[in-house]
Amino acid sequence: MTEAMIGSGPRRIDGRRKVSGEAMYASDHHLKNMAYAYGVFSTIASGKITGLNLDAARKSPGVLDIFHHGNFPQLYHNSALPMSFAKILTAAKSDESRLPFEDETVYYAGQFVALVVADTFEHARAAAYKIDVSYSKREAVANLEQGMKTGQLQNGSPGHQRGDAGGAFTSAAHSIDATYTTPVETHNPMEMHATVASWEDGRLIVYEATQGVVAHRNSLAKIFGLIPEKVEVRAPFIGSGFGSKLWIWPHSVAACGAAKVLGRPVQLVVPRQQMFSTTGHRPETRQHLRLATDDQGKLVSVSHESINTTSFTDPFKENCGTSTKSLYSCPNVLVSHKLIEVNRGTPTSMRAPGAAPGLFALESAMDEMADKIGMDPLAFRKLNVADRDESQNLPWSSNHLQECIDRAAERFGWSKRDPKPGSMKDGTEIIGYGMAACNWDAYRTPAEAQVSLRADGTAYAICGAQDIGTGTYTIIAQVVSSLTGIALDKIEVELGNSSFPPAPVSGGSWATASVLPAIAEATRQAIEQLKAYSTGPKGVLVGTKPEEITFEEGQLKSGGKSFAIVDVLKAQKQSSAFGEAKTGMNDTSKFSFRSFGVHFVEVRWDPGISRLRVSRVVSAIDVGKIINDKTSRNQVEGAIVMGVGMALFEATDYDERNGMPVNDNYAEYVVPVHADQPEIDVILLDYPDLELNEFGARGIGEIGITGLAAAVANAVAHATGKRVRDLPITLDKLMDLPPTMSA
């Protein structure tokens, strides 16, 4: 293996295709005789459709058909049976189990109630606006608070319990009891959700903006009553998804059904406004934290009880306490998750689901606990970091959180922090320092791959994984190059097609840890076939035993002789040496696998003009071996900016009177822009975790957002003296500050 290639930072091999416009995303595919669909979306949040006046729309130019609950082909539900972790990654799964146009019931605002298909996009949209839908309204449950008053709490995941958290809390020397809330956040990836569906001789071909081509294929096959081999889903390029494109949504099913009825390809792009309602979101949470310590500051009790909103159609669990049960050492722990139904579309995974809102609450509470006992927040965390996973009674496969804290603290300058709130100033600005740990699961799933070493000196790798903008194309090429010596620009990688060797969805930060072992093994199998060619009739090493042949620096070597890949293949008149592999999961019975890190944040508060900004972030991340330094840093930097959005800006609001979304557009849903970008310094520890895979690599896509909102909130508390427990930290929440800290 060429070690220099693994861990280096080459540019993305797909970068030129993207910046030149050559890369084709889902809606870029314009098939012959293609029709265009546009949805009609519910304007109420709860009730029933009592009538559809389609006359004006049918008379509109170019209209081919209008689909609704009285006019749509018969479909089937996805399997509702429980599945193992390994299976669910490629199995049939829907985010919204209700089929499009299944009945006349309306469960949320923005739900598909009809679909117009026309010869052009403009004609379809114009006709959709002419459809008059009548409803009988029911009182909507608009938010978590209303749900708690009118609904019934449901059990979420099993949670965790050890010791007696309640008893230890009551008898502890020091304790805090606080509730934290987080709002609905909406994904808003750059690429819109889109489907281009075509039926060809009984086969369904779909171009889809999806993070899982194999899972999407299996879902469509189940829904349309086909064997999986009759469906092909293609997604060579995805403009991100943040989790909203993991599983199938109603628009994809609707487009495929319309194409089947019409006998021609159909394109359906979900408008940005409806991406706030019908393609998922991070749910609203309420989290009750109770922490207690002894006189030395050691945790003796931790309780983390969370509630999240879900839809009336599907129970989605936002497991906020997944890190709480193991990040810190404590003998008495209680973690629970419950759900409450509201009139919104079904929530889904959003970057670091569970952990992002959960660590906002836990790490804010850790800071409050440190203040309560008069201890430095850094020292308090270091004292309580767990040296093994106490929730499973297993050692960590690898954990360098203590070093993360030390290195980031030194780089940040934490030792200069004056603990008194509002005491650090620079001109008109008050400076606040805050910190928080970050944490995420480390997964490895089954994957398959094929690799060919070709007679023209190039290599070819193929896998049913996806590159959602994270750099998967590039790191696959790096692995092939490291094992063969072939230059990156001579390695072709194809991804994002369900007909390729199956691989998991690109989510959960498991793609790198899962796919690279399969690529490596397939490459080694190709090398073994190359050795077999070399010893065959007319081979360059005929008569040599295979075990006497080594492969080094891109050449077969034996007895002082060296032959390049091209020479071996040409001697046998072979086009390529081929290898394929199927790799599995890691053994989770001996070790607990998680990734660790820490954020240090500086905020600046100018009370004269009521301006709050994040000015500086230093993060140290422990995710095992770094495969590509450039793309890894990109991932953490992007996650940090997303975390700034979570902390200060992002919230999807709903009208309490009727459950209708208020700011379902990109003008009023506020996200960080260039002017909000802090100075970011990322430290990557680069300790291989060889218990997880041969490269020692764990996923890096999600850990960077976890804990960031808490670090910001902790810094705000240090700057202003006010503890904000309800995200986002908007200026109205700082209006009642003491005179020395407010305008």
* Cis omega (within 30 of 0) for bond into 419: no
Gap between the Cα atoms of 232 and 228, Å rounded = 8
Query: How many CB atoms lie under 10 A from the CB of residue 631?
Result: 23
CA quadruple 719, 721, 726, 732: dihedral positive or negative? negative
- Give the length of the chain: 743
List the beta bridge partners of residue 267.
36, 196
Q: Are 252 and 206 in contact (CB under 8 A)?
A: yes
Token code pair at residue 227 = 């064997």
Active-site entry in 305, 363, 429, 702: 702
Token code pair at residue 9 = 């930072």
* Region class of 355: left (phi > 0), else alpha (psi between -120 and 50), else beta: alpha
CA angle 140, 146, 148 (to 5 degrees): 125
End-to-end CA distance of the chain: 61
3-state helix, strand, coil in the chain (%, to 5): 30, 25, 45
Gap between the Cα atoms of 248 and 259, Å rounded = 17
- CA 68 to chain CA centroid, Å, is 32
Residue type (1 letter), 412: F
Rounded alpha-carbon distances, angstroms, from residue 396 to 76, 160, 627, 629: 43, 18, 21, 24
- Report DSSP state, residue 204: E
Q: Is 185 considered catalytic here?
A: no
Residue type (1 letter), 322: T
- CA 632 to chain CA centroid, Å, is 15
Gap between the Cα atoms of 217 and 222, Å rounded = 9
Q: What would you report as the CA-atom Rg of the chain, rounded to the nearest whole angstrom?
A: 27
Token code pair at residue 382 = 């270091």
Q: Name which of 64, 55, 61 is nearest 36 in CA terms.
A: 64
Q: CB-based contacts of 679: which residues, under 8 Å, 6+ apart?
A: 615, 616, 617
231-234 and 266-269 beta bridge pairing: unpaired
Gap between the Cα atoms of 491 and 460, Å rounded = 6
CA quadruple 48, 127, 268, 76: dihedral positive or negative? positive
For residue 302, give the H/E element and its range. Answer: strand 299-310
Three-class DSSP labels, 666-680:
CCCCCCCCHHHCCEE
Gap between the Cα atoms of 483 and 486, Å rounded = 8
- Report DSSP state, residue 79: P
Q: Which residues are catalytic?
A: 702
